[in-house]
Structure 1
Amino acid sequence: MKTNTWMKRSFLVTTALVSTLAFGSSVSAETSQTSNWTIEDASQIERTKDTTAPYIEPDFEKMAPELHVWDTWPLRNKDGSVAKVNGYYVIFSLTAPSDLLPGKRHDVATIRYFYSKDGKSWKLGGEAFDPTGAYGSRQWAGSAMIEDGELNLFYTATGRKGEEGVTYEQRLALAKGEVNASSEGISFENFDHSIILEPEGEHYQTEEQAAQGDIGYTFRDPWFFEDPKTGKDYILFEGNSAGTPAERTLDTNYIGSRSFQKDFSFTDEGFAKLFNGAIGIAEATNDSYTEYEALPPILEANYVNQELERPHIVTKGNQYYLFTNTHEHKFGPDLDAPDGLYGFSSDELTSGYEPLNDSGLVLANPEEHAYQSYSWMVLPNGKVISFYNFHDLDGKNISDLGGTTPEYQMSHFGGTLAPTIKLAIQNDKTKVIKDGHPGKIK
C-alpha cells in the first residue's frame, strides 16, 4: 500500500529485498502492461525544497583537466551492488578532449574509466577499450557489470564505422573483456563486441519511422538489471513508441484522469503527438547476455516527453524504483518542467508504475542555475551521481549558448563530476537530504 504522506523516519535505498518475496516466472509480452506518464502527472511538476539540488560553487577542480567528462556509471556486480575489484572501485564515463566546444563532444565521445580505493578520489585509467574494435563511429552511455572476473560493458553504438558525415543511428552493444587488477590499478583487455538489440518497429520506433516527421529518435543507454524476484536478466534502455507520426493516435489515458480530461485541451495537438518517449526493456535469452527478446515498454510518455534518458532501477523492499533523466525542452507544448531526474515506482517490474512525488520529479537544479548538472544516476545506497554541466549563465537559457562566443561556452561548462547528492526514499516520496564530495559513490 502506497502512501502520499512523508513519514518522519527516512529510509535510504538499498538493493536488498525482503526474504519473503515470492519468486515468479519470467516476464512475457502477454504479462507486460505499459505504464503511462500522463499530462496530468507532468502538469504537477514543480521544484520544492525536497526536490531541489543545492547550488554548486564554481570553484571546482576537474577530475581530468585534459578531458570533458559527462555521463558516468559505476562497475556493478550482477545483483546491482557497486563492485570492488582487488580493492578498487571503477567508474566509466563519456569523455572528449577538453579543448573541444562542449556542444561537439557527443560527436567524438569515447568511453574511458577511472578507478579509486575510496570511491571518491578518481585516477584516470584510460580508454575502456580500443574504439577501433567497437561498433559505431563513437560509443555513448551504457552500464557495466562484472561476473566471474569478466567485464560486461554495455554501450550505445552510435553511427557506423567509416561514415562520411556524423549520423545518429543507435544500436545497443556489449563488450566482453578480461579484467586485470594489481596493486598498480585496474585495466581491461581482449574485448569481444556484439550488437545485442536494434529497434524492430513493433515495440520501439526505428530510425526510418522517426524520419517520417518526428522531432527526434532514440535507442540508447542499455542498463543491465537482474530481477531479484525472479533471477531473470534484462536490459533497460531509452527508446520511442513505435510507428510514424501519421500512425499515432491519441489515447485519452495519455492525458490523465477523467476529471482532468474534462478541463484539458491541447494548444497544438499535432505538435504534441510528436512527443513519444519510452523506457524499453528486453529479456536476455542466453547466459552470455548477447541475445535479447524485446518486450513492450515499461513506461511511455506519449504527448508528454520525447526523451527519457539513461533509465535505471533500484529496488527497496517489494518496490522497483525506476529513474530517468530528461531536459526541459523535451517536454510537450502544454507542459513546463525543468531539466531533472524523474522517478516512478511499482511492485511489478513491467507494469503498474506511478510517478514519485505525484508528478515524477525527484531532483532538479535550482531555478537560478537550471543547467548546473545533468545525467543523474541513483545508486543502491541512495547516493546520486551526475556531471557538472553549464553553470552561472547570467540568466541565459541553454538554447542561447549557440549565440555566445566559444570562450563563453568553454568557461561556463563544467565537464567533470558534480557533488554527489544523498536521496531518501519512502514509499512514493523522495527527499534530498544532503550533498557531498564530487563523484563519491561510497
Structure 2
Amino acid sequence: MNDHSPGEGAPGYRARAGWTREQAAGLERTGETTAPVFYPPETDQMPHLHIWDTWFLRERDGTLAEVDGYRVCFSLTAPAELLPGKRHDVATIRAFYSADGREWQDAGPVFSEALGQRQWAGSALYDDGDVYLFYTAAGTDGAEELTYSQRIVAASGGRVDTTDGFELRGPWTHHELLSPDGERYEREDQSRAMIYTFRDPWFFEDPETGETWLLFEANSPVPEGSDLFDGDAGKQEFNGSVGIAHSPTGDPLAWELEAPLLDAVGVNQELERPHVVYRDGLYYLFISSHLHTFGPELSGYDALYGFVAEELHGEYVPLNGSGLVATNPPNAPFQAYSWMAFPHDGEVLVQNFFNYFDFAGETLDEIAHLPESEQRRRFGGTLGPTLRLDVSGTRTEIVGKLGHWEIPMAGESLGPTERELLARAHADDQRGGYGH
C-alpha cells in the first residue's frame, strides 16, 4: 500500500472492516496530527449558553446549505450558569445562523417538545425547502429518574422563513427511526461495558450510486464466553462500531438496518459522531473518540480519527497508519472535542467545540475535583477554531486554523496555509529579502 491509494482493510468482527489492536497500538502524536494550542475567543458570541456538539444544515449532496444567504447550524446547548459537567443531562438542540460564516446569531430552541428526556447529537438535511433534523432521543420519555436509553429519531416539517430576518419554524413531527436489533447492534440490556451507545445519526447520499444512507454510532454484540482475544472479557467489552441503515426509496424517514461499516472490537468503546467526506473518488470515514474509551493496553487521545476506502461499504484502512487525524497538544489534551469534517476550497475543514482548556490532567475525571469556579473558568463551551486539513490518499496533515465559529461561505477562498506561508518565508530568506 502506498500513500495515495487504500489497500486491503483489516476484517472487522461483524463488519466488513475493522480497526485492529495492532493498528491502534501505533497511535502517536505527530506534527501532522497535533493541533496548536487554542485560546479563548476575544468575544464569546453566545455567553448565555454552553455549546458543544454541532452540525450544519446540509444539502442532499453533502454541501453545506446556504438558505437565502444564511449558513445554519445546530448545537447541543445548556444554560451557561449550569456546571459544565451536568450539561449532558439537560441537553437541548438550538439553531444558529450567520450571513458571513463568522458572526452568528441565536435562533433559539428548535423544538418546544421532542422525544426522549433530552436530545443528543445528530445531523440536518435541507431538501427542496424542507428541513429534516435527525437526533438522538436520550432517556425514557416520561421517566422520573434520568435514564440512558437511546433511540435514533427524526423531526420533519421544518421550514426556514427569511421574510423578516431569520426564523426556523415547524410544526415539527417526530418519528422514531431505528432501534438496535440485538444481533448486529447491541441493545442496552446486552451491554456489559462502561458506556452504551446507539446514537448520532448522520445522513449521507452516496455521490457514486445515488443511494441514501444513515450512519450512526453503536456497539457490536460479543456473546459472553466468546473465544475472541482468548476469552479476555476485558478486551471484548470494548466493542464500538459505525452502524449504517439504508433508505431504499431515498425517503429520509424510512430506514432499514444493515451490518456495520466498521467496528473496533477490542479497541475502543465509542466511535462517536461518524460521518463521511467524499473526496477524489475516495470515502473518508471520520469519528471522534476519547482517551478513556480505548481498550486494555492501548493508549489513545481525545481526537478525530479517520479511515478511507474506495467504496462506502469498502475495506477501510486507518489514515496515517493508526487512524489518528487530529488531536490536542500534550499541554492541553482536552481543549477540543466532537470534530466534524467537511470539504471546502480543495481542503477539508474540521470544526469542533472548545472544551476544557488550561487543563493538563491525565483524565477529565480530575475536573470534578476542582472548585466549581475553576470548572467553569476552564470550560470553553463554544465552537473552537476551525482546523484546515490537507488530505491525500491515506495521509492527512493539519495545515492551519481559522477563527472560533469561522465556517467560510461557499466560494470563499481560504488563502495560503501555514505550510505555504512558511515555504514563502524560507524562499524570501534564501533571496535575502522580504519577498517581491
Which category of TM-score, normalised to the shorter sequence, fits these structures? 0.7 to 0.9
Question: Could you say which residue in structure 2 is the equivalent of 1:250?
Answer: 228
Q: Distance in 1 between matches of 2:222 and 2:45?
A: 42
Whole-Å separation in 2 of the counterparts to 1:62 and 1:396: 28
Shift in Å at residue 59 of structure 1? 5.1
Is 1:415 paired with 2:381?
Answer: yes
Counterparts of 1:293 and 1:240, CA distance in 2 = 17
By relative contact order (CA 8 Å, sep 6+), the higher-ranking structure is 1
| 1:191 and 2:190 correspond | no
- Give the 3 Å change call, closer, same or farther, for CA 247–80 of structure 1 in structure 2: farther
Contact kept? 2:69, 2:99, Cα under 8 Å: yes
Give the match's secondary structure for 1:401: helix
Q: Percent same amino acid among aligned pairs?
A: 45
What is the one-letter code of the residue matched to 1:318?
G
Is contact 2:211–2:248 with CA below 8 Å preserved after alignment? no
Distance 1:243 1:122 in 2: 45
1:157 to 100, 124, 137: 137
Match for residue 70 of structure 2 among 80, 88, 109 = 88
TM-score, reference length from structure 2: 0.88
Unaligned runs of 5+ in 2: 6-13, 409-436
Give 1:273 shift. Answer: 1.4
Output the CA distance in 1 between the equivalents of 2:146 and 2:366. 23
Q: Is the 8 A contact 2:132 2:158 kept in 1?
A: no
Residue in structure 2 matched with residue 202 of structure 1 by the alignment: 183
Q: Any idea what the Cα deviations from partners look like across 1:122-177, whole Å, max 9, x if unmatched? A: 100011122x2x11111110000111110010000111221111101000001012
Q: CA deviation at 1:269?
A: 2.9
| TM-score, length basis structure 1 | 0.87
Q: Distance in 1 between matches of 2:185 and 2:70?
A: 38
For 2:203, which of 224, 234, 237 is the aligned residue?
A: 224
- Provide, for residues 253-275 of structure 1, a one-character-per-residue CA deviation record: whole Å limited to 9, x for no partner: xxxxxxxxxxxxxxx93311110
Name the CA distance, whole Å, in 2 between partners of 1:269 and 1:62: 48
SS in 2 for 1:86: coil
Task: Tell me which amino acid in the other structure corresponds to 1:202.
Answer: E
Are 1:136 and 2:116 counterparts? Answer: yes
Matched residue, 2:2: 3
- Which residue identity does 1:153 align to in structure 2? L
Which sits farther off after the overlay, 57-66 or 40-49? 57-66
Where 1:380 maps in the other structure, the secondary structure is strand
Q: How does 1:90-105 map to 2 (within 5 A)?
A: 90-105=72-87
Task: Tell me which of 401, 404, 412 is aligned to 2:367.
Answer: 401
1:261 is aligned to: none
Q: Which amino acid aligns with 1:195?
A: E
- Give the equivalent residue in structure 2 for 1:25: none
- Equivalent residue runs for 1:57-136 within 5 Å: 57-58=39-40, 60-130=42-112, 132=113, 134-136=114-116
Residues of 2 paired with 1:174 and 1:33: CA distance? Answer: 25
**In the TM superposition, what is the alpha-carbon distance from 1:401 to its structure 2 partner?**
1.2
Corresponding residue number in structure 2 for 1:238:
217
1:430 maps to what in 2?
A: 396
Gaps of 5+ in 1: 7-31, 253-267
Structure 2: distance between partners of 1:159 and 1:178: 24
**C-alpha offsets along residues 68-101 of structure 1, whole Å, 9 cap, x if unaligned?**
0000011000110000001101000000011111
Output one character per residue of 1:25-66: Cα deviation in whole Å (capped at 9) or x when no partner. Answer: xxxxxxx95211001110111111110111012354322111
Cα RMSD (Å) of the superposition? 1.7
How far 1:334 moved relative to its partner? 1.0
